[in-house]
Amino acid sequence: MAHSTSARLLQRGNIFLADYWILAEAPTHCLNDRPQYVAAPLCLLWLSPQGALVPLAIQVSPAAPPGARNPIIPRSSRTQLSQTPGPDSPIFLPTDSDWDWLLAKTWVRNSEFLVHENNTHFLCTHLLCEAFAMATLRQLPLCHPIYKLLLPHTRYTLQVNTIARATLLNPEGLVDQASPARTLCPATRLQAPSVLCPQVTSIGRQGLLYLMSTGLAHFTYTNFCLPDSLRARGVLAIPNYYYRDDGLKIWAAIESFVSEIVGYYYPSDASVQQDSELQAWVGEIFAQAFLGRESSVVLYLVRWLISSVTTRIVAFLTVLLNCSSCFSASPSHSLFARQACRATTLLILWNTAQKPHGPASHCSVTTSN
């Protein structure tokens, strides 16, 4: 009976999986001589008739041992190593004790924060937008129409990222410090934020760099293109998904605006192909943002075969403008709402999840600022 019910739910598209595989080999560190821990959970979600995504089961798999710096390994191997059910990867259910189920959900929240802040936010908005900005400055002259189109969306990217490198990512910077001392940004003399320093996360600088390098190695054009991303994740039809509803409207507006600009300056496919500066600009973005991996843009390459050249450049520019505006604002502007309440964003967990265990004695949690 249970098997047939599960099969029906799968056929209806009502079952979703939140997979934090990227954390399986994430290095951790010790804070105040206490080992820190990171999990690579799998969270099974059910879309209820009321339109809510409800967790059905959570598998909590431990990541790399504290202090470890494991090399990047293929996803298939990583899944076999750290996300296989067993004594070290317990599966929690809503029918477990309240404390057990709360602990499992806490690990998911912790993992979600690490992936969201390091990759969804910093990598996909700050750093990848920098690759677009640098290619624009290096390859396009000031009078180029695409330069003028992109400049309002990228003019502050380098400034913000320079501050981040001077305060967060540099050796012995905030992410690398072992004490909660505040420092001033040498460029602006402003106090730097401590949102990613070891006092509030369990991965530190090495973990941050690992997550970003692993995320970039698996990044594809589909991740950038909002309609394709929504379709690939199977969330085009779920109710109460306001990011999708608002995002697609903004996407359509950007696409319409870009289409008119491109249509005015590039009346034919030949005009695009003969623009050597535009070709060099696209080439640098492919090399720097997508690391020259053809597999990362396979969907875009397939569309090249069935669409005009001007249509392709419209699609590419729409992706870039959306990434540096709408997509960038979404994770950035929600930071306070997501993290102001420390009870819902637990950033350091001082023990591994084990089952069974007694109430309230299983895990020590800190939410230090």
Q: What is the mean pLDDT of the chain?
A: 77
- On whether residue 269 sits in a domain, the answer given is yes
The domain tally of the chain equals 1
Between residues 73 and 326, which one has the greater pLDDT?
326
- Kindly report which listed range (21-35, 103-117, 149-163, 354-368) carries the lowest average pLDDT score: 354-368
pLDDT at 208: 87
pLDDT at 73: 32
Q: Which residue has the tokens 């507006």?
A: 253
Between residues 204 and 244, which one has the greater pLDDT?
244
pLDDT at 94: 95
What is the average per-residue pLDDT within 115-135? 89
What is the average per-residue pLDDT within 11-33? 84
Helix axes 145-154, 128-139, angle to 10 degrees: 140
CATH of residue 239 = 1.20.245.10
pLDDT at 345: 57
What is the average per-residue pLDDT within 271-296? 85
Task: pLDDT band for 98, please (50, 70, 90 cuts).
Answer: very high
pLDDT at 29: 73
pLDDT at 309: 81
- On whether residue 214 sits in a domain, the answer given is yes
- On whether residue 276 sits in a domain, the answer given is yes
- On whether residue 71 sits in a domain, the answer given is no
What is the average per-residue pLDDT within 123-136? 90
- On whether residue 166 sits in a domain, the answer given is yes
What is the average per-residue pLDDT within 210-226? 87
Task: pLDDT band for 62, please (50, 70, 90 cuts).
Answer: confident
pLDDT at 184: 44
Q: Which residue has the tokens 């991303």?
A: 229
- Kindly report which listed range (176-185, 190-199, 240-249, 358-367) carries the lowest average pLDDT score: 358-367
Res 327 pLDDT > 60: yes
The predicted-structure confidence for 35-56, as pLDDT tens digits, reads as follows 778 889 999 999 998 989 999 9
Between residues 257 and 367, which one has the greater pLDDT?
257
- On whether residue 212 sits in a domain, the answer given is yes
What is the average per-residue pLDDT within 166-189? 60
Res 179 pLDDT > 60: no
pLDDT at 65: 52
Q: Are 322 and 243 in contact (CB under 8 A)?
A: no
- On whether residue 345 sits in a domain, the answer given is no
- On whether residue 255 sits in a domain, the answer given is yes
Res 145 pLDDT > 60: yes
What is the average per-residue pLDDT within 24-45? 83
- Kindly report which listed range (187-191, 283-287, 337-341, 362-366) carries the lowest average pLDDT score: 362-366
Domain region containing 288: 115-336
Res 331 pLDDT > 80: no
How big is the chain, counted in residues? 369
Res 76 pLDDT > 70: no
pLDDT at 264: 95
pLDDT at 275: 93
Task: Tell whether pTM > 0.85.
Answer: no
